[in-house]
Amino acid sequence: MSTEDKEAQEDELLALASIYPEDEFKRAETTQGGEIRVCLELPSDFRIFVTGGAAANLKNNGFEDSVCFLPPIILNFELPPDYPSASPPMFTLSCKWLSAIQLTAICKQLDNLWDENRGCVVLFAWIQFLKEETLEYLHIISPLELKINGQGKQNCKSLIPRKEDLDSCGESDTAEGEALDKRAIQDVNSLSSLIRDILDFDQAQQKKCFNSKLYMCNICFSEKLGSECMHFKECQHVYCSACLKDYFEIQIKDGQVHCLNCPEPECTSVATPAQVKELVGEQLFSRYDRLLLQYSLDLMADVVYCPRPNCETPVMQEPGCTMGMCSKCHYAFCSICKMTYHGLSPCKITAERLVALRDEYLEADEINKHFLEKRYGKRVIQKALEEMESKDWLAKNSKLCPHCGTPIQKVDGCNKMTCTGCRQYFCWICLSSLSRGNPYWHFNDPSSVCFNQLFQGIDVNNDDLENED
């Protein structure tokens, strides 16, 4: 190796290390060489797709998506002793989404660039070509159809623009094989793995870009790096993680797990479970996960819960069947009244349900009334109406004995009452129990609230007064 070549190589490698970050250029430790990872600048809304027979093994029998980044083109190189004075760099070119024919075309163009710059360092020119001209050189536009080796013949005319490259692409398998450059490697096993690699890389790069930018949080009004923030995927609104953490924790503790939406007014974007887990920690996320499942089950008409307080396991109910069978405790219950399953017998109704049933029946139309009568029994419905009418009348026209609770109606007479049940004397005004020895003292005692109120509320007949005179 001449001194001039050695110095030129060293200067070029040092220059590359100063221009590109470590994740783009990595120098080899034992040889004069390294690895360069080139990410292309894609047009906005760049789309990729797989269709036809090539998609037969995919679950959806096809695929299409929009990406901002594609996995890099990787240039591995080693500098021979007589570079750059005589020999070009030895290299391999690998990529996941470019086919072997496309990579072959790029290898030939790198050779051409060396021929044009023979005697000078060429790595920087290669990198600039890969970064800025690859898409145009290969005539790649959106949407890009993904292919791998063995997934049908490539259209050489659309992929290799130069005449000599067009001539090298034969129609037979042998001619196509001879046209491929051994330095060109499509580093992927299947279309499904290719799609997964592309989407994973795109997501990682978008997160990397997000983390490096500054954003204003509209909750605390502080400007913070994206690495300290979270954005909602649907609306792209950004808030700092600290504010969202407090907001989510309050909502989860209150049981409002379906309201973890973007704080922006009138915005309906909702945080993903992964985002919630990242912010609130394992314990609260377990509560969130459990309540979210319960909320989802509550929306399903064919799901009921086991009525046993220590169980409450969700139970799938067969259409048209009122019996539920708990898979955990094996309790058979009626899904309507939540009591032990009673077959075709009417549901037993509790006192708490009586008022609601009466109101529901009175407000129902003829079809729903017939349904309620069939569910609970017509006799039960009639009894509920009669009992509730009686209770309503008693509540308006009677008072309960302070000793035994018997309803007492006052028709006429003074305010000293005698219970028909336990014979206890009591005051109709204040419902105080009265002394059996002198029940009227309550109305004659100046300290009593009912002083001189023995005949309070009684209508005096004027004719009776005249007769007394």
pLDDT at res. 7: 92
User: How many other C-beta atoms lie within 10 A of the C-beta of residue 171?
Assistant: 9
- The residue from 235, 414, 419, 422 that is catalytic is 414
Q: Which one is predicted more confidently, 161 or 124?
A: 124
Task: 138-143: list long-range contacts, CB under 8 Å, 24+ apart.
Answer: 138/98, 138/102, 138/105, 138/106, 142/43, 142/45, 142/46, 142/47, 143/46, 143/47, 143/48, 143/49, 143/64
The pTM of the full predicted model, rounded to 2 decimals, is 0.54
Candidate from 27-36, 410-419, 426-435 with smallest mean pLDDT: 410-419
Q: Which one is predicted more confidently, 467 or 160?
A: 467
Question: Mind listing the pLDDT tens digit for each residue in 329-369?
Answer: 989 988 777 788 888 776 766 656 666 777 778 888 887 77
Question: Is 404 a known active-site residue?
Answer: no
% of the chain beyond a pLDDT of 70? 81
- Listed in sequence order, the DSSP H helices in 170-303 are 173-179, 191-212, 241-253, 273-280, 282-298
Q: Which one is predicted more confidently, 183 or 315?
A: 183
Instruction: Read off the amino acid at residue 82.
Output: D
Was domain 3-200 assigned CATH 3.40.50.720? no
Domain boundaries, the chain: 3-200, 215-298, 351-398, 401-469
Range of 125-139, 185-199, 272-286, 352-366 with top mean pLDDT: 125-139
Task: Evaluate whether 373 touches 381 at the Cβ level (below 8 Å).
Answer: yes
Task: Evaluate whether 187 touches 96 at the Cβ level (below 8 Å).
Answer: yes
Pairing verdict, β 90-95 and 184-186: parallel
Q: Is the pLDDT of residue 175 over 60?
A: no
| Fold type of domain 215-298 | Herpes Virus-1 (3.30.40)
Are the folds of 3-200 and 215-298 the same?
no
pLDDT-derived band at 150 (thresholds 50, 70, 90) equals very low
